[in-house]
Structure 1
């Protein structure tokens, strides 16, 4: 039986680390933790039976085997990207392509989109779901809403405000925050440990998910208190689906950034509308 291929994520981690000669920089680019990138590269090395990097105190040095593998992996990733783009067919007249995570599409855009389409019924939409921050480098969209740090996406983009972290729960879930199950989205730099104040008992999550959207869904079904980006919370608060579990708003090192194709009038119009939603979404605590 033919041996199965290593996971694609292993190759992505290797390719990014090889370009940057740093697990930390690779992690920032592809939206993983530094330890996750290091582990995936180590798994690839174990699978191939060779060392791809020499780990040094000041960074990485690629080995001869790593240099041999690098161009092949780069070419394969570019080929996969081109193959995906080849299916982007159909009429583009009045079609606005928006790239964002499922979380943003579900919890930020969907509850508000009817107000935009009422103003502009002639505009059609195509939503592209993104998972990794570097997905935005391989797709073509008129409007992009990536999640990450200012270093990653701040150039030429606008941070959607408010960008703090808030605790959300179902209105049917009774009890004090300290006594309820806590839900945390992994892959962000700020969590319950950063949110809590010195006078609080240690807050330890019981449920880990991979996105703010999943955390909000868990909370909406009464599974606990979700710590999420504040900008996502207002439609849920306005509808009554969720309530604040605590008045504290903690700063976050990451946020949702908005950028639009400046040469596309419809993209600029949609960007301005999105920014209006953020400004007008404030709900008193």
Structure 2
């Protein structure tokens, strides 16, 4: 039997090519697979040298497939979809009843884990496998349920809107007692501020949300403020706030447990609601009617309502 293995291109380069072709962008492909844009360009060059023909037409803000590129993309896309479906099936067979839930490390750490015992108390028969990642889970990841920021309608997945993002200042009760000037937005300019730095947003598609952007959204003119300490992971921001180091720019869904426990408080009521940034519950179509998925979905929505972020 004839084998096509001898004509297979470098498979890592093929994966990069598929992402670049799907997005029509080397930059977005780099963000998806967590490499630099130059690394994407090198992998595409490897493929073009392998075939001896251009696969993309490079333009100023995007790239377009050549006729040869379209042929390769159609086959590659179908092949990766098949591999992804087969991979998921293997995981399902090996899970033995486990429900795989995918979310960001931050959401899992600050929202899901504090409520995990409640889930176990409500539904002790659900066996969970928690899968975390730096950015929102991708649809080709091997999950049953995912909590994502943003969603593009895709066949085979059921999406339920959960909540919009909202940001507001938080600090400890002790910090507020030491800084009575924190009775209005103006008081924020007199105390240390804590935020995510730009490295956190480097490979994300969303506009960075920092204190400067928050002040602008609340109609405050750009002016000098006190020391700003920045971190590349949100749990570090929260840890610094809990240690009375300053006022943090907090996301409502990520600080809700700290607010419930009175570890953190809102020194002022002003906030910034980002209506274009909605979180979704993503479920594989073939699993949406299973008892485990229905139970988890019901529990998740009820907890979101209880935390006041819906």
TM > 0.5: yes
Does structure 1 residue 96 correspond to structure 2 residue 107?
Answer: no
SS at match of 2:279: strand
Equivalent pairs, count: 267
The answer to whether the 8 A contact 2:102-2:132 is kept is yes
Structure 1 residues 68 and 131, CA, compared in 2 at 3 Å: closer, same or farther? farther
Any idea what SS the aligned residue of 1:275 has? helix
Structure 2 CA distance for partners of 1:79 and 1:172, relative to 1, 3 Å = farther
- Which structure 1 residue ranges, 5 or more long, are not aligned? 1-7
Structure-to-structure mapping, 1:141-180, within 5 angstroms: 141=144, 143-147=145-149, 149-151=150-152, 156-161=158-163, 163-173=165-175, 175=179, 176-178=187-189, 179-180=191-192
Q: 1:191 aligns with which of 194, 205, 209?
A: 209
Q: Which moved more, 1:238-247 or 1:270-279?
A: 238-247
Unaligned runs of 5+ in 2: 1-11, 180-186
The answer on whether the counterparts of 2:166 and 2:271 sit within 8 Å (CA) in structure 1 is yes
Distance 2:30 2:246 in 1: 29
Instruction: Indicate the residue corresponding to 2:3 in structure 1.
Output: none
In structure 1, the partner of 2:134 is: 131
Are 1:240 and 2:239 an aligned pair? no
| Contact in 2 for aligned 1:145/1:258 (Cα 8 Å) | yes
The answer on 1:264 being equivalent to 2:290 is yes
Question: In angstroms, what is the RMSD of aligned CA positions?
Answer: 4.3
Tell me the equivalent position of 1:5: none
* CA deviation profile, 1:41-74 (whole Å, cap 9, x unmatched): 3465688997864432573134699779869987
In 2: Cα distance, 1:60 partner to 1:15 partner: 13
Q: TM-score, normalised by structure 2?
A: 0.65
| Structure 1 partner of 2:305 | 279
Structure 2: how far apart are the matches of 1:262 and 1:76?
23
How far, CA to CA, are the matches of 1:218 and 1:37 in structure 2? 30
Q: Please report how far the alpha carbon of residue 240 of structure 1 lies from its aligned counterpart in structure 2 after TM superposition.
A: 2.5
